[in-house]
Amino acid sequence: MNFDAMKRRQFLKTGAATAGTLLAGSLMSSPAWAAYPDRNIDVIVPTRAGGGADRLLRAVSSVWKNHLNTNFEPGFFPGASGRVGYEVYMGKYQPDAYSLIFGNMGPEVLNWAVKAPSFDINDYFYFGRVDTDPGVVFVGAESKFKSIDDIITEGKKRKLNVGTSRLAHPASIGILALGEEVGVEFNLVPLSGGKKTVAGAVTLEMDFCVLTSGSVIAAGDACRTLLVFDNKNLAGDKLSNAPTMNDYFGTKLPPMYSARAFGIHKAAADKYPDRMELLQKTFKDAMNDPAYKEAFLKSKGFWPYSNYGGVAECEEFKNAMLELGGRYRSLLTGK
Amino acid sequence: MSMDVNLAFFIDLFFHIMGMWWVIVPSILLGLIVGAIPGFSAANTIIILLPLTFLMEVEVGLVFMIALYCSSRLGAGIPAILVNIPGTAGAAATPLDGYPMAKKGLGQRALSISFVSSIIGGVLTTILALVTMPLLARVGFYMHSVEMIVVMLFGISLIASVAAKDMIKGLIAGFFGLMIGSIGADHVYATPRGTMGFLELYDGVPLIPALVGLFAISEAFLVIESGSLLSKSNVQNVDNASWKETIKGVRITLKRWYHVTWTSMIGLIIGVIPGAGAAIASFVAYQQSRTFSKTPDAYGTGHYEGLIAPEAANNGVTAGTLIPLMVLGIPGGATAAIMMVVMQYQGVPTGPRLFVERPELGYGVFMAMLVTYLLMAFTILPMSRYMSRVTMVSTTYMSPIIIAFTLVGSFVPREYMFDMYLAFAFGIIGYIARKTGYHVAAILIGVILGPLLEQYMLRALKMSDGDPMVLFSSSLGNILWAALVITLILPAFLKRRRQPKTVE
Q: Which of B21-25, B32-36, B176-180 has the lowest mean pLDDT?
A: B32-36
A11, part of any domain: no
Highest mean pLDDT among A29-38, A107-116, B351-360: A107-116
Distance CA A208, CA A136 (A): 11
Q: Centre a 10 Å sphere on the Cβ of residue A256 and count the other Cβ atoms it contains.
A: 27
Using the predicted structure, report yes or no on whether residue B3 has a pLDDT greater than 70.
Answer: no
Are A238 and A150 members of one domain?
yes
Shortest CA gap B473–chain A (Å): 13
Nearest residue, CB atoms, A167 vs list B189, B350, B465: B189
- Let me know if residue A26 belongs to a domain: no
d(CA B44, CA B21): 23
Contact between residue A207 and residue A145 where contact means Cβ atoms under 8 Å apart: yes
B139, closest residue in chain A (CA to CA): A203
pLDDT category at A68 given cuts 50, 70, 90 is very high
> Would you say residue A172 lies in a domain?
yes
Q: Which residues fall within 8 angstroms of residue B276, CB to CB, at 6 or more apart?
A: B143, B148, B151, B270, B332
Q: Average of pLDDT values for B199-212?
A: 86
> Tell me: the pLDDT tens digits for A201-214?
999 999 999 999 98
CATH number at residue A198: 3.40.190.10
**For residues A226-231, average pLDDT:** 94
User: What pLDDT band is residue B389 in, cutting at 50, 70 and 90?
Assistant: confident
Q: Where are the alpha helices (DSSP H) in B346-411?
A: 352-357, 359-379, 384-387, 395-411
A99 and A182 housed in the same domain: no
A128 shares its domain with A138? no
CB-based contact, B202 to chain A, within 8 Å: yes
Residue A254 counted as domain residue: no
Residue B229: pLDDT band with limits 50, 70, 90 = low
ipTM field:
0.79
From CA B98, how far away is CA B92, in angstroms rounded?
11
pLDDT at B230: 65
Q: pLDDT at residue B200 above 90?
A: no
Q: How many CB pairs under 8 A join A and B?
A: 97
pLDDT at A36 over 60: yes
Q: How far is B192 from chain A (nearest CA, A)?
A: 9
The structural domain count of chain A equals 2
Q: What is the pLDDT of residue A266?
A: 96
pLDDT single digits (tens) B134-149: 788 888 888 889 998 9
Q: Could you list the residue range(s) of the whole structural domain that residue A198 is in?
A: 134-249
Among B144, B191, B352, beta carbon nearest to A205: B144
Q: Is the pLDDT of residue A8 over 60?
A: no
For residues A185 and A79, membership in a common domain is answered with: no
* Distances in whole angstroms, Cα of residue B356 to Cα of each of A153, A253, B60, B350, B425: 36, 41, 20, 10, 53
**What pLDDT is stored for residue B235 in this prediction?**
67
Per-residue confidence at B241, pLDDT binned at 50, 70, 90?
low
Chain B residue with the nearest C-alpha to that of A115: B191
pLDDT of residue A307: 92
**Mean pLDDT on B15-25:** 90
When mean pLDDT is compared across B210-224, B282-296, B305-319, the lowest value belongs to B210-224
Q: What is the pLDDT of residue B274?
A: 74
Q: Which amino acid is at B408?
A: V
Same-domain status, A244 and A177: yes
Q: Report residue A218's pLDDT band, with 50, 70 and 90 as the boundaries.
A: confident
Å between B462 CA and nearest CA of chain A: 6
**What number of other Cβ atoms are within 10 A of residue A200's Cβ?**
29
pLDDT at A12: 55
Q: Kindly list the strands in the beta sheet with A41-45, ordered across the sheet, starting from the edge strand earlier in the chain.
A: A72-76, A41-45, A99-104, A260-265, A124-131, A306-309
Q: Residue A40 pLDDT > 90, yes or no?
A: yes
Q: pLDDT digits over B403-434, tens only?
A: 888 888 888 777 788 999 999 999 999 999 98
- A1 belongs to a structural domain: no
Strand partners, B192: B185
Mean pLDDT of A142-147: 94
Percent over 70 (pLDDT), chain B: 92
Q: For residue A3, is pLDDT > 50?
A: no
pLDDT exceeds cutoff 90 at A224: yes
Q: Which helix (H) or strand (E) holds B446?
A: helix B440-463
Last residue of some domain: A214, A249, A284? A249
Q: Are residues A243 and A181 in the same domain?
A: yes
Q: Give the end of a domain, one of A208, A224, A249.
A: A249
Q: Write out chain B residues lying below 8 Å of A191, CB-based.
A: 459
| pLDDT at residue A164 tops 90 | yes
Residues in a beta bridge with A263: A101, A126
pLDDT at A13: 58
B202 with A87: Cβ contact below 8 A = no
Please tell me which residue, B497 or A214, carries the higher pLDDT value.
A214
We report the CATH number of the domain holding residue A51 as 3.40.190.150
Could you tell me the pLDDT band of residue B324, with boundaries at 50, 70 and 90?
A: confident
State pLDDT tens for residues A260-276.
999 999 999 999 999 99
Q: What is the pLDDT of residue B110?
A: 93
As a whole number, the mean pLDDT across chain A is 87
- Asked, for residue A190, whether it belongs to a domain, the answer is yes
- Is A173 domain-assigned? yes
Region B348-353: mean pLDDT is 73
Mean pLDDT over all residues of chain B?
84
A275 and A301 fall within a common domain = yes
Report CA B221 to chain centroid distance, whole Å.
25
Q: Is residue A287 assigned to a domain?
A: yes
Choice between B310 and B212, residue whose per-residue pLDDT is larger: B310
Considering only residues B327 and A147, tell me which one the structure prediction assigns the higher pLDDT. Answer: A147
Last residue of a domain, one of A188, A215, A249: A249
Task: Tell me what pLDDT residue A148 has.
Answer: 95
Residues A142 and A122 in one domain: no
SS3 content of chain A, % helix, strand, coil (to 5): 50, 20, 30
Tell me if chain B has a CB within 8 Å of the CB of A97: no
The predicted pLDDT at position A135 comes to 94
Residue A11: pLDDT over 60: no
pLDDT of residue A189: 94
Can you say whether the dihedral through the CA atoms of B292, B296, B301, B302 is positive or negative?
Answer: negative
Measured between beta carbons, the chain B residues lying within 8 angstroms of A167 are 188-190
Q: Stretch B325-339: mean pLDDT, rounded?
A: 77
